[in-house]
């Protein structure tokens, strides 16, 4: 190897050992990706700093340190409950995204687990929702309140389960969202919420075909004559019956 090559290698090593903040951020992101988002950024920075920001050494150190001591929970994605294939949302509209997940493992989840946003488009300010600790084979639905972007197009984001110690586990959960003018999903969810709230009001009975936006139908009290029928004085009716009986006895009237 000539002197020029040695100088180049030395320069590269010096640059690597003197990385700035931007380069470290890139290494942290790559570290997370290679681990399948099993560790939060602070944990990635710890192992990278411990190994002088050598990515390969940091990954080895992580597995040497964590693998013997950690039992990673199991989680599998079952299905999309809302925002399925072919459904779209209008721009700048609130909606609820719901996934169905399962614990397929033999161990219950530890307490305090949550579903966290890990990449892509976030759709609002919510980045964490608490999830109940599932027993083996148990299934549950997890919902996140979101808001669609203001511009039409295709968007995607990733979420993942996480323990209180920052250990990510299970399948990466995706949301793939189509935003277009005329999308109906957000409006449909709002109408469904309105009807549910209406039905839960006290002393409110709603028929199955109830339309909250239809004009009120007239009832029998609004029909002419119906009020007279229901407000007859009982004594007046008795007197009428008595008079009818008299007229029946004296067809030509009383003398």
| 3 phi and psi angles, rounded to 5 deg | -65, -30
Could you give the angle at the alpha carbon of 175 between the alpha carbons of 172 and 180, nearest 5°? 165
Residue 142: closest CA among 165, 125, 117: 117
What pTM value is reported for the model? 0.52
How many CB atoms within 10 Å of residue 4? 8
The whole-angstrom separation of Cα 175 and Cα 202 is 37
What pLDDT digit, counting tens, does each position of 194-226 carry? Answer: 555 555 555 555 555 555 555 555 444 444 444
* 97, 146 contact by CB (below 8 A): yes
DSSP 33-72: HHTTS-S-HHHHHHHHHHTTT-HHHHHHHHHHHHTTT---
What pLDDT digit, counting tens, does each position of 12-60 carry? Answer: 444 444 444 448 888 888 888 877 777 788 888 888 888 888 888 887 7
Gyration radius (Cα) of the chain, Å: 35
């Amino acid at each position: 190897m000539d002197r020029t090559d040695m100088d180049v290698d030395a320069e590269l090593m010096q640059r690597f050992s003197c990385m700035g903040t931007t380069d470290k951020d890139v290494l942290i992101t790559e570290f997370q990706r290679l681990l399948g988002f099993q560790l939060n950024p602070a944990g990635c920075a710890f192992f990278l700093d411990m190994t002088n920001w050598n990515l390969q050494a940091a990954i080895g150190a992580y597995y040497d340190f964590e693998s013997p001591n950690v039992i990673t929970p199991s989680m599998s994605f079952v299905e999309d409950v809302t925002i399925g294939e072919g459904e779209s949302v209008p721009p700048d509209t609130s909606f609820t995204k719901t996934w169905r997940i399962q614990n397929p493992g033999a161990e219950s989840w530890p307490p305090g687990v949550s579903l966290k946003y890990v990449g892509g488009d976030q759709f609002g300010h919510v980045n964490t929702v608490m999830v109940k600790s599932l027993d083996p084979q148990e299934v549950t639905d997890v919902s996140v309140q979101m808001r669609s972007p203001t511009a039409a197009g295709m968007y995607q984001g990733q979420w993942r389960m996480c323990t209180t110690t920052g250990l990510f586990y299970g399948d990466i959960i995706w949301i793939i969202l189509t935003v277009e003018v005329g999308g109906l999903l957000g409006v449909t969810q709002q109408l469904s919420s309105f009807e549910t709230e209406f039905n839960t009001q006290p002393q409110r009975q709603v028929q199955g075909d109830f339309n909250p936006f239809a004009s009120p139908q007239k009832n029998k009290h609004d029909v002419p004559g119906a009020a007279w029928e229901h407000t007859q004085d009982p004594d007046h009716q008795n007197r009428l019956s008595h008079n009818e009986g008299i007229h029946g006895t004296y067809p030509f009237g009383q003398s």
